[in-house]
Structure formats: C-alpha cells, structure tokens
Amino acid sequence: TNTGGILYPQESESRDVRSLDGIWNFRLSPETDPLTGFRERWFQKDLSQTGETIPMPVPASYNDVTQDKAIRDHVGLVWYDRTFYVPEAWRQSSLVWLRFGSVHYAAQIWVNGHLVLSHEIGHLPFQADITSVVKFGAKNRVTVAVDNILLQTSVPQGHVSEVTTDNGTRITQSYTFDFFNYAGIHRPVYLYTTPSIYIDDISVHTGVRGDTGSIIKYNITYGGLLRATSQGPACYVDLLDRDGNYIIRDAGSGRLQGELEVPVARLWWPYLMDSEPGYMYTLQVRLSAQQWGIEDIYRLPVGIRTVEWNNTSILINGRPIYLRGFGRHEDSDLRGKGLDYALIVKDNNLIKWVGANSYRTSHYPYAEEIMDFADREGIIVIDECPSVDTENYSPALLEKHKDSLSQLIRRDKNRPSVIFWSIANEARTHLSDADSYFRAVADHVRRLDSTRPITMALARGSGEDRTGQHLDVIGFNRYNGWYSNTGRTDTIHNNVIAEAASWHHKYNKPVMMMEYGADTLAGLHLYPDYVWSEEYQVEIMARHFEAFDKLRTQGFFVGEMIWNFADFKTAQTITRVGGNKKGIFTRNRQPKASAHHLRRRYWALAGEL
Ligand code: GCB
C-alpha cells in the first residue's frame, strides 16, 4: 500500500477522476462480538443484507451526525459500503485506481468482495490499482471496515480496558492526548484512471543561484508494465506561470530527471512578505510510450524557494523569518474531522484576516485540500506526524512512527509551504529511551529529506530533556498562567524568557514557543481578569507578547504560536467544558476578544518585516 507515489488525483487529457463522496451505508459491529463482520463476510454482499444500515456522509467523522451515543462513543469496528459504476469506456488501456484521502484509524477496503487495501495511522492517503477486480460497464461495490482502537503500538498511542456496565462488561478506550478520537472516512474518496504506463511520482527541489536565476530539479518515476523488448518511456516537461503562460517548453530531452533554469523567477514568499505571496508555477509533465501510443500528463504546482537554517535562525530565500501563527485542529461541529470545503475556505480567510504567516498541523497531517491553500497563500506550515504524547517506547512503535513520517514526506515533499517536519508533540522526552528513539526518528527523516529542518513540540523542561540534540529547531509548549501559576499573569514574562533562553543555552539552536494559551469561554467577561474569561485570555497574551518582544532582541527566538486557532472537541473529562476552549475563535469560527488582540499584533509584526 505504501510504496510508489501518492500524487493527488487530477483530471488531464489522459486521466479521469470521479468522486465517490456522498451518502454511504453504515453499521456498527456489535461491541460484544466485534469480529462478526469478518466471520460472516459482510464484504461479500451489500451491507444492507447483513442487518440494518443507516445513511452516513462521506467525508465526515461518524461520531456526531446521529442522535445515538452508542455511535458517538463506539469502540472498535464500523462498516461502510456503497455501489458505483465503472464506465465501459474505461476498459480501453486504462488503469482504475481507488484512493482514500484519510480513514481513521485503521481501514480495510474490499471491491466486489476482494481485499484491495489495508492502511493504518489515519490522516494520510492510500490507494490501489483495482483494475483487475472492477467490472467495466457494470455496477461495483466498495466496502470499508474502520477500526478506531488505539493501543500502545499505534500512532498515537491509547489504552483499551474493560469497564463493568449495567449491561455487562464492555471495552473502553482511553488516551492522554487532548482531542476527540474522531473516526470514519474523513477525506474524499476518488476513483480515477491513468494510462497503463503512467506517471507514478514527481519530486521537485528548487534553488536560487545567486543573481542569475532559479532552478527546479525534478525526478519522475513511472509505473505500469512495459514489454521486455520495449524502451522506457520518454518524458518531457513544460513550465507555466501562474497565468498559464509557457515559460519553458519541451524540456528534458526525454529523460526522467532534469533541471530547469528559470532566469527571472518569481519566488514563493510567505504571506505579507511580498505583494504576491505564495507564487506557484505549474510543472507540466508528459510521459510517453510512443510505441504503444500512450501519453500521460500530470500538472504539479511548484513554488520556487529556498530554506536554510543555522544556530539562531531560519531563512526563506535568504531572509530570516519570524513565525506568527497557531496550533490548529481539523475539527468542527457535526463533521468532526471530516473535510468540509466551506470550513477550509473560512479558516483560510481567518488566517489571513488575523495576519498570521504560519501554523503547525498539530497533531497529525492535515488534508491535502487544506495544504493547497497554504501553498497558494504563502502560509508556512510546520508539518506534524500523528505522534502525540508518546510514552512506552518500543521497536514496534518506532517502526510505525517512522512509517508515518515516510508517508507524510512522500505526500508533502513538493509543497513550498512545508518548511519544517515536526516529528512529535509532547513525547515523554525525559525518559532514558527517548534519546535513541528520537535519534532514529530524526535520522530517518533526514535520509528521506535533508532540505527541511526538523522540529518537535517539547513539553518537559529543558533540564530533563534528552532529545533536543536531534532537532534543528526547538519548539516548546508551556502554559504559564494556566496550568502553572493559575491566575498569576505576573509570573509569565520572566518565566517565558528564562525558559526560551535555557533551551537555547542547552542546545544552541533556534527556539520558538510552539504553544501557550488559556481556556476561555466566549462571552464570559470578568474584570479584573479572572480565569476562563475573555479578559484573562487577552491578559495572558499581552504578557507573552512582552516576553516575545524582549526575546526577539536576543537573536535566537524565531516564532510564536498561540494555542489554539479555534475551540475543539476533546474526550470527556472534568477539565474540559464541552471541549478545549483555548481557541481565539469559537468552534464555529467567531472571534473572541483575543482574536482582535492577536490580529493587532500579527499585522504590526508583518509591518516590521
Ligand atoms: C498541550 C497539547 C495540546 C493540548 C494543550 C492544552 O500541551 O499539546 O494538545 O490541547 O496542551 O490545552 O492542554
């Protein structure tokens, strides 16, 4: 499943794309007999023939769309299916692919009763060539089994235990991370075609050569069967500007690797650092196997920029950057983690309205459709894998953790917006195993991509940390005035400065504050400021801003990210009132007083750049 490329499905002269989104059939596995569906082979018939099904939207989490608590809180397997037609016309020299943007947490997929895909870790796309099992010119069925159980060897980790209920023993899921374990088919499902010899993957690296111009290095891999006697396919590339004008035509002399020189390139700049941030070219790749009359065309958006870093700073196109952003979540009412186009456009507009230039994909990879906005708008992304609150290090966990990063890098390697890889959030970095574990993770990432710095969101103190030496940039999470010294906003300034300095002193790396904040109930006003009120959130921020401004004069402090962009749902606990309320926007994206306060700062910071 996880070998080869994972290019986003795209229509072209040689490719067709159909959406399988919509209303699917759905049913739970009985909690008392979770494997029934496998034993009775539910994937070999229509799900509705196995028992009662209900309509379920795709994409969406299944948890919040019904009136049934048993569905919201279900632990274990659920089943989905739907039917679709494959046109007769696709039989001619086409391969048919099935691609899921994300199914959380683990999934098995059958087409017409044949197992075609298995995937684990959620949040990342996976696909298969299903040509040999589809019926052309006929009705087909796709069945999906989804398991939301998190164990000590899943990424992220969780615990399953038993609980005695009024109706007997049930299993119950717990986890220490602070967001709801939404599950289901979270992102779009596509059926698409390629020619039988096709562009499998494209990798680009961009560089700037002094004043003479820019270069785009590319590497193309192809898939499909060629007869032993035939020559490999020929590859040609074109470069188009944002308006669709050809800048370079027919380059590459047929070869799969090459280098384009772009004499007066428009560089990809972060938001508000240039009048046209996020400038994207299109690399048009044409692969042809002439003796078979086959041509495949794929258009990859490309931004030209460089990333460099040293002990004190990160530079884009040679200029130091200061990050002003957020931690975020994929989270909303009703949909949970399901992709919603209205929501992603709104979020993009809010990010620009606030004047932020960055965010971290806390605590897992976000949808490709969201990342596309970051590319086009010049938003800097700290791209995080799904490892959160790691404890109990083990070889099995390490393999899965590395796999999540392989999949993430494979998906996002060409995105100019991705400036950092974040390899974990709030791992137990004080434990003795943390050193070798994170060395292995960081080495793995550097082998796959040495062009971007590696970071991690650290929560243990700098004194006890055993992992910072493996990172390029230190990010720390600290809730001064909230989890510690609650109510004492007069402790924030000095503590923030002292902690940032201690990280830099220990590791001699650039340092940023990756999380800080306070839970705030929108509409609660208490003055003088008092915890949970809008006034308190603003006061906490104001004290942090003073500390950040002082730190910025010391030469190693590279950014601030408030926790969180918006309120979000969590597991049920006694410290969360309807979820985590540290958003500067409410869950339905209305500003708290803090949003206006942050906006004044971020626009002012942008003006200084
Ligand atoms: C953290 C975590 C984040 C939580 C946040 C909080 O340090 O990284 O996932 O939501 O604190 O609000 O407690």
* 484 pLDDT more than 90: yes
Peptide bond into 222 cis (omega under 30): no
Which residue, judged by its Cα, is nearest atom 9 of ligand 1?
Answer: 178
Residue with tokens 């795709």: 58
pLDDT-derived band of residue 557, with 50, 70 and 90 as boundaries?
very high
* Ligand 1 center from residue 362 Cα (angstroms): 10
From the alpha carbon of 477, which atom of ligand 1 is closest? 7
Mean per-residue pLDDT, 355-375: 98
Q: Which two tokens stand for residue 373?
A: 């906005």
* 336 pLDDT more than 90: yes
CB-based contact 405:385 (threshold 8 Å): yes
- The residue whose CB lies within 8 Å of the most ligand 1 atoms, and thus the one to mutate among 175, 178, 455, is 178
CB-based contact 241:214 (threshold 8 Å): no
Which residue, judged by its Cα, is nearest atom 7 of ligand 1?
Answer: 477
Which residues pair with residue 174 across a beta bridge? 159
Structure confidence at residue 92 (pLDDT): 85
pLDDT-derived band of residue 41, with 50, 70 and 90 as boundaries?
very high
* Ligand 1 center from residue 327 Cα (angstroms): 9
Buried b (16+ CB within 10 A) or exposed e, 482-501: beeeeeebeebbebbbebbb
* Ligand 1 center from residue 336 Cα (angstroms): 18
Identity (one letter) of the amino acid at 289? A
Mean per-residue pLDDT, 444-469: 98
Which residue, judged by its Cα, is nearest atom 10 of ligand 1?
Answer: 178
Cα(314)–Cα(323) distance, integer angstroms: 10
From the alpha carbon of 425, which atom of ligand 1 is closest? 8
Structure confidence at residue 209 (pLDDT): 79
Q: What does the DSSP 8-state code read for residue 50?
A: T
> Please, what is the end-to-end C-alpha distance for the chain in angstroms?
44
pLDDT over 90, % of the chain = 94
Structure confidence at residue 229 (pLDDT): 60
Structure confidence at residue 248 (pLDDT): 97
Which residue, judged by its Cα, is nearest atom 2 of ligand 1?
Answer: 178
**Residues in contact with ligand 1 (CB, 6 Å cut-off):** 178, 363, 425-426, 459, 477, 515, 563, 580, 582
Structure confidence at residue 211 (pLDDT): 64
pLDDT-derived band of residue 3, with 50, 70 and 90 as boundaries?
confident
pLDDT digits (tens, 9 = 90+) for 219-260: 999 998 766 666 789 999 999 999 999 999 999 999 999 999
In angstroms, what CA-CA distances link 284 with 12, 277, 569?
10, 22, 41
* Ligand 1 center from residue 484 Cα (angstroms): 13
Identity (one letter) of the amino acid at 68? D
- The residue whose CB lies within 8 Å of the most ligand 1 atoms, and thus the one to mutate among 515, 520, 564, 584, is 515
Residue with tokens 């392989």: 406
Cα(200)–Cα(74) distance, integer angstroms: 38
Structure confidence at residue 7 (pLDDT): 98
- The residue whose CB lies within 8 Å of the most ligand 1 atoms, and thus the one to mutate among 180, 329, 429, 477, is 477
Task: For Cα atoms 266, 269, 274, give the angle at the middle one, nearest 5 degrees.
Answer: 85
Is 426 noted as a catalytic residue in this protein? yes
* Ligand 1 center from residue 556 Cα (angstroms): 24
Q: Which two tokens stand for residue 17?
A: 């794309």
Computed over every residue of the chain, the mean pLDDT equals 96
Task: For Cα atoms 249, 252, 255, give the angle at the middle one, nearest 5 degrees.
Answer: 145
pLDDT digits (tens, 9 = 90+) for 383-428: 999 999 999 999 999 999 999 999 999 999 999 999 999 999 999 9
Structure confidence at residue 212 (pLDDT): 65
Decide: pTM greater than 0.95. Answer: yes
* Ligand 1 center from residue 271 Cα (angstroms): 26
pLDDT-derived band of residue 377, with 50, 70 and 90 as boundaries?
very high
Structure confidence at residue 334 (pLDDT): 97
pLDDT digits (tens, 9 = 90+) for 103-120: 999 999 999 999 999 999
Cα(126)–Cα(177) distance, integer angstroms: 25
Structure confidence at residue 608 (pLDDT): 67
* Ligand 1 center from residue 423 Cα (angstroms): 16
CB-based contact 226:290 (threshold 8 Å): no
From the alpha carbon of 517, which atom of ligand 1 is closest? 12
Active-site residue, selected from the candidate residues 368, 426, 534, 560: 426
Mean per-residue pLDDT, 191-208: 96
pLDDT digits (tens, 9 = 90+) for 496-512: 999 999 999 999 999 99
Least confident of 40-49, 85-94, 147-156, 252-261: 85-94
Structure confidence at residue 2 (pLDDT): 61
Which residue, judged by its Cα, is nearest atom 13 of ligand 1?
Answer: 178
Which residue, judged by its Cα, is nearest atom 4 of ligand 1?
Answer: 178
Structure confidence at residue 225 (pLDDT): 75
Q: At what angle do helices 534-552 and 492-507 cross, to 10 degrees?
A: 40
Which residues pair with residue 421 across a beta bridge? 383, 454
Q: How many CB atoms lie within 10 A of CB 75?
A: 18
Which residue, judged by its Cα, is nearest atom 6 of ligand 1?
Answer: 178
Mean per-residue pLDDT, 175-191: 98
pLDDT-derived band of residue 291, with 50, 70 and 90 as boundaries?
confident
- The residue whose CB lies within 8 Å of the most ligand 1 atoms, and thus the one to mutate among 563, 570, 573, is 563
Per the document, the length of the chain is 609
